[in-house]
Structure 1
Amino acid sequence: MNANFFNQIAQMSITGALQITVLQGTDDNLIVSVLLQNEQCGDNAKHLIPPLTLKGTAEELDGGFFQSIVTPIEQTSSLLLNMESYLKAQEQARKQSAMEKEKADKEKKEREAKEKKFNEAMQKASALADEGKYREAFTAVPDVNRFPDYAEEIHKRKDELARHFAPNLFNANPIV
């Protein structure tokens, strides 16, 4: 009987449940199936990893069991951990991508709403100017501070409307 069986298992670098099945084979041979399962791994590809199967007499398995399973089982453990890390990174990338898309969509909607407000204000100013209400049209033109992207257009429109005002006795140039 091998007294350090569990010590050797404990020394292995594995994460998950190690399942060992022993079957009595034909003649004096034993068939040992070793499967590492890691429930933390969400990738269904983990189910494609077959169990490690050893066949031999009890004496042969006593002498070479751990030398035969340590490397493949540790590699399987590493693979399962990497698969889970990959899935988590992929999910994080998907979330980031969705967040960036959502952020871009939100900025686009805000920009479109702002542009719509600007256009509505400019149309209102034009309608008032068409009615000859130049001072009301002048005040209807949007404020440059609210729409800095349209500053040139706003100044130009205010200049056009200010020309229709009666001359100011104190200042020959109207305040824009």
Structure 2
Amino acid sequence: MKTNFFEHIATLNTPGIWKLAIQVDANGNFTVSELFTALHCGDNAAKLIIPMNLCGTAQDLDEGFFDKVTEALPKTSELYTNMEAHLKSVEAAKTASKMEQDKKNKEKAKTATTGTTPKNETDQEIPELKEDKKKKYEGIMKSIAELNDRCKYEEALDLLPTVEEYPEKENELKNKRADLNRKKDLMAQATLTFNS
């Protein structure tokens, strides 16, 4: 049996990664979750884009899938391009920043004067305990990232450590909690149907 599904994707002429998940219920209705990502985008904001969900019968999807995808794809592709360009411009500006250069020079001068590199407050902990705590935190955050990639935001939130456990990571933990809550809420609202 011949299909022209991949020929349709080729005609879109947009390099990237396509992730499709197809679910069929007992009544023969389909839910297709489609997510297009750029090949290279270093901006973490790209992870905020959630999949587009399309629901309907096999005939509905045969007739309308590529119309919906074609409608959304240019905006998504342009967003990835803008994110990457923005990220590069931010890095260029940061490198050229006089304040950044002054900071580097100050650190060099301090190191030359004292003969030691500056330490932050967390370096005062017992090294073995600090290393164990760091490994545990990194393991938890890796698990959260994996759950996030699979759109399991509720489970990721349950795993997220508290600020009391890692006070030195307060900003990171608060930002991660806000991001996961936002994605969870968006996922609840994201189902598009062909009836709308």
The answer to whether the Cα contact below 8 Å between 2:94 and 2:100 also exists between their aligned partners in 1 is no
Alpha-carbon RMSD: 2.3
The answer to whether the Cα contact below 8 Å between 1:18 and 1:36 also exists between their aligned partners in 2 is yes
Which residue does the alignment assign to 1:160? none
Instruction: Report Cα offsets for 1:54-80 as digits up to 9, x if no partner.
Output: 000001100111001112122111101
Larger radius of gyration: 1
The answer to whether the Cα contact below 8 Å between 1:23 and 1:32 also exists between their aligned partners in 2 is yes
Structure 1 residue matching 2:97: 3-state secondary structure: helix
Which residue does the alignment assign to 1:146? none
Which residue does the alignment assign to 1:69? 69
- The letter of the residue matching 1:36 is F
TM-score of the aligned structures, taking structure 1 as reference length: 0.52
CA apart distance, 1:99? 9.1
CA apart distance, 1:15? 3.3
Between the two proteins, the alignment pairs up a number of residues equal to 103
TM-score of the aligned structures, taking structure 2 as reference length: 0.47
- The letter of the residue matching 1:72 is A
The answer to whether the Cα contact below 8 Å between 2:30 and 2:56 also exists between their aligned partners in 1 is yes
The answer to whether the Cα contact below 8 Å between 2:18 and 2:34 also exists between their aligned partners in 1 is yes
Which residue does the alignment assign to 1:25? 25
Q: After the TM superposition, which residues 157-172 of structure 1 pair with which residues of structure 2 at under 5 Å, given as runs?
A: none
Mapped to 2, the partners of 1:30 and 1:37 lie a distance apart of: 23
CA apart distance, 1:14? 2.4
- Show structure 1 runs of 5+ residues with no match: 106-176
Q: After the TM superposition, which residues 7-156 of structure 1 pair with which residues of structure 2 at under 5 Å, given as runs?
A: 7-98=7-98, 101=101
Mapped to 2, the partners of 1:2 and 1:98 lie a distance apart of: 61
Mapped to 2, the partners of 1:64 and 1:57 lie a distance apart of: 10
CA apart distance, 1:100? 8.8
Do the aligned partners of residues 39 and 3 (structure 1) sit closer, same or farther apart at CA in structure 2, a change above 3 Å counting?
closer
Mapped to 1, the partners of 2:101 and 2:36 lie a distance apart of: 40
Mapped to 2, the partners of 1:22 and 1:100 lie a distance apart of: 49
CA apart distance, 1:38? 2.6
Structure 2 residue matching 1:15: 3-state secondary structure: coil
Mapped to 2, the partners of 1:47 and 1:100 lie a distance apart of: 28
Do the aligned partners of residues 91 and 78 (structure 1) sit closer, same or farther apart at CA in structure 2, a change above 3 Å counting?
same
Identity in percent? 40
- The structure 1 segments of at least 4 consecutive aligned residues displaced by more than 3 Å after TM superposition are 98-102
- Show structure 2 runs of 5+ residues with no match: 106-196
